Amino acid sequence: MGSKVLCTCTPARMRACILGGPAEMPKRCRFWLMILSLMPSAVWVAASAQRPTPMPETLSPFGAPVAAHTPYTVVLQDSTPGLTMTIALRLDGASVIKFEYSQADAVIHRTIELPTGVTVVVDDVRQRRSSTCRSGTSFRARMDSSRGCIRNDVGDLVFRGEIVGEGDVVAGYDTVRVQSDRSTFWFARDVGCAHVKSITKLPGGGTSEKVASLITPGDPDSALFSVPDTYEEVPPSVLHRMAPDSAEARRTDTFYFQCRPPK
């Protein structure tokens, strides 16, 4: 690989760094690779850097928020020092996933999915936000534990994966084990299909492991879903600091301006 500057930590431009292996990446880009590999809607990004894979079955935007009947907050510690992930599901079906990286060049990012159909991506360090609309309630709210936590209450797929095991106990909870590309997830059946453990094989070697250090049943802290009015609303290219003339910036910004939530 010619220069590490190519790795600007956006999905489309991550691939050159991925092919060089984790040792060739700046720390910030290794952080974003771990985030992408653990986000269910983006698991394919890392895998597609090394081999073409067919797109999986389309995920359903429908189904009742059955998982939200058991709201929760889960804090997971990563095998990488300084990296923490918090996932919370609210009784009304809202969900949030928060990544915190406490080393130099700190990162605090949240993705909030509201039951109104609005998704807000938040950069709490730079005090910026990027809001778009989507179809359906958060997939986390629609996971059905009686269907292996990968389908909704009517049997439609809401999480790309295959059930590969059941009965593992993680942090005191019975789980279902799901394989999704390079990642294996453990979902707690009795806590709204909460993500309580995951192991991801990183391209170029090595693994990233997350294990729940705290599981709190019940409605989560409202601060996880709160975005100050003073935060600047920006398109994704600005939030993720993409090259303004790149194809990825044009693609994401086009979607952003076409799918703005109502004011």
Q: Which of 192, 190, 150 is nearest to 172 (CA)?
A: 190
pLDDT exceeds 70 at position 7: no
pLDDT band at 49 (very low <50, low <70, confident <90, very high): very low
> Bigger pLDDT: 224 or 6?
224
> Bigger pLDDT: 49 or 168?
168
Please report the domains of the chain, with CATH numbers, ordered by start residue: 67-223 (2.50.20.10)
What is the rounded distance in angstroms from the CA atom of residue 62 to the CA atom of residue 54? Answer: 23
> Bigger pLDDT: 1 or 31?
31
φ/ψ of 137, rounded to 5, equals -75, 160
Q: What is the pLDDT of residues 91-111, one digit of tens each?
A: 999 999 999 988 767 889 999
Which of 47-51, 67-71, 101-105, 123-127 has the weakest average pLDDT? Answer: 47-51
Q: Which of 184, 140, 142, 194 is nearest to 163 (CA)?
A: 184
The predicted model gives 9-34 an average pLDDT of 40
Average pLDDT, the chain: 80
Contact 186, 167 (CB under 8 A): no
* Torsion over CA: 9, 12, 15, 16 (sign): negative
Q: What is the pLDDT of residues 113-126, one digit of tens each?
A: 999 889 999 999 99
> Bigger pLDDT: 181 or 9?
181
What is the rounded distance in angstroms from the CA atom of residue 123 to the CA atom of residue 227? Answer: 10
At residue 12, the pLDDT reads 39
> Bigger pLDDT: 31 or 128?
128
High-pLDDT (> 70) share of the chain, %: 78
pLDDT exceeds 50 at position 224: yes
At residue 137, the pLDDT reads 85
What is the rounded distance in angstroms from the CA atom of residue 150 to the CA atom of residue 165? Answer: 13
pTM (predicted TM-score):
0.79
pLDDT exceeds 80 at position 51: no
